[in-house]
Amino acid sequence: MRVRAPARAGASLLPAVVAVLILLPPWAALAAPTVTVEVNGQILPLNPPAVLVDGRVLVPFRPLFEALRAEVHWDPATRTVTARRDGRTVTFRIGSAQATVDGEQFPLDVPAQVVGGSTLVPLRFAGEALSARVHWDPQRLRAVITVDGAVVVPPASGAGTGGQTDIKAETVTVNLDGRAVTARVVRIPRDAPLKAVVGLGGGRVGGVEELAAIAARHNAVVAVNGTFFNPQDYVAKNGLPMNDPWGTIVKGGRVLHVGHKATVGFDGLRGAVDQVTVTIEGATNGSYRWPNNWYAYGFNHYVDPAASSAVYIYTPERGETVGFTHGTKVVVRGGTVTSIVDGADVAIPRDGFVIVLWGTDGQALRSRFTVGTTGVEYRITFTTASGQAWNFREALSAGPQLLKGGTILTDYPNQGFTEGKILTDAGRRSAIGFDAAGNIILAVVDAVRVSDLARIMKELGAVDAMNLDGGASSGLWVNGEYVVRPGRNLSNALLFVPAR
């Protein structure tokens, strides 16, 4: 994989309820497919009709808010819509890129707008801001809104086995040395009309967000927590700038982070678990040979000032800036070094990346770069433990790997895990695996060791499996509802969304 100029990435920090919309002129909106909106099982009459734009929904504000039992006020002088429900106040102003919820401002990708003489607002933001639950069924072009829990959202329909995904959570009891252990399990057929994607907290590397919000932003049918990360209490205690993940993250074919070897990868629903090593090689003047070559440890991870060496690449998925001042920052735009900055934070260009050099290795590579150096690029190689090439468009690493070819693995120290919480301690655990036919198995189990989890996943039918992040990070979300609610906001998640 060779990278010359990374594409512009959606790395903005958005609240959980922000829907991504593309602004269309009125004539284009009127040509959009017919969208049905239901509130508590009743079709909501809308005039003008709801507008579907790039898979997202805009609706006229008054019928929506009144259906949500909210008090509605329109101020023509300020062109402001205000809705109040159960002590919560939401305000939209025409043309403003921000909405206000209880006095706090949240950014909107697209402001409230006038189409055909009526004011339209983003459906998911408006509904969830007023404590309703919003579910989007892309096959039926139907938005289902639940107020006060009156409706159970059905699974998304599709072209899988029997014409339905019919994916649901089940509770399975496994006998573990005479102890009955309960597992919350979701099985996803390999031919379900879904695809796996990685979701990032807040839409960026280093952000955090509630699992349900990550899932809702992607219209996910199923979501499970992903790789390890620095939770908020650890970040605050250690004065870190962001909630850095620790595992490998690949999203849309772009490597956003590098970490543990045990990795699950997907193309659509075709997936695999393996031990994967990631190698990053860099070039200047278009050459990967000495003296033009360079290398990096990984992507988008904070450099500890106490570290003896570090070389990291920072891409737009990290955010607007690198996020810290120490080290040498080599700014690359369009394959050319445009600036080299010492001891200061720098902006990450949308059409490039930043290389941070620190310590012994950083200084050894410093001479490779001068302002004006061209042909600056990097390539990434994935290799399995057996030496095979490994490439998937979506991937997360965590670990340890639990099963390989039906055999329970116990070599956790050799996989890089030496802490007691992995080797000996019991706690809540999350796992992902595949059965012999390639169907996906997700499970969350309480009060077990990782070695116990391996046995449970085999009992559930998995032949290949790995541990995901656990403890308070464990979470499972299916068809708009929590099966297991995480105890904290998450850095990342693995989502199964409608394939389209």
Residue 12, pLDDT above cutoff 60: no
Residue 163, pLDDT above cutoff 60: no
> Residues 247-263: pLDDT tens digits?
999 999 999 999 999 99
Residue 493, pLDDT above cutoff 90: yes
Confidence class of residue 143 from pLDDT cuts 50, 70 and 90? confident
Query: Which of 500, 24, 497 has the alpha carbon at shortest distance from 224?
Result: 497
**Helix %, strand %, coil % for the chain, to 5?**
15, 40, 45
Confidence class of residue 6 from pLDDT cuts 50, 70 and 90? very low
Could you state, in order of their start, the residue ranges of all structural domains in the chain? 2-146, 169-247+398-498, 278-381
Query: Which of 35, 57, 197, 31 has the alpha carbon at shortest distance from 121?
Result: 57
Question: What is the structure's pLDDT at 180?
Answer: 93
Domain 278-381 belongs in CATH node 2.60.120: yes
> Residues 205-243: pLDDT tens digits?
999 999 999 999 998 999 999 999 999 999 999 999 999
> Residues 351-402: pLDDT tens digits?
999 999 999 999 999 999 999 999 999 999 999 989 999 989 999 999 999 9
Please tell me whether the overall predicted TM-score, pTM, comes out greater than 0.85 for this model.
Answer: no
Q: What's the Cα-to-Cα distance from 38 to each of 127, 238, 447, rounded to whole Å?
A: 12, 47, 40
Question: What is the structure's pLDDT at 175?
Answer: 92
Task: Judge whether 374 and 335 are in contact, CB under 8 Å.
Answer: yes
Question: What is the structure's pLDDT at 150?
Answer: 45
Question: What is the structure's pLDDT at 410?
Answer: 95
Average pLDDT, the chain: 87
Question: What is the structure's pLDDT at 19?
Answer: 34
Homologous superfamily of 2-146 in CATH?
A: Copper amine oxidase-like, N-terminal domain (3.30.457.10)
Confidence class of residue 20 from pLDDT cuts 50, 70 and 90? very low
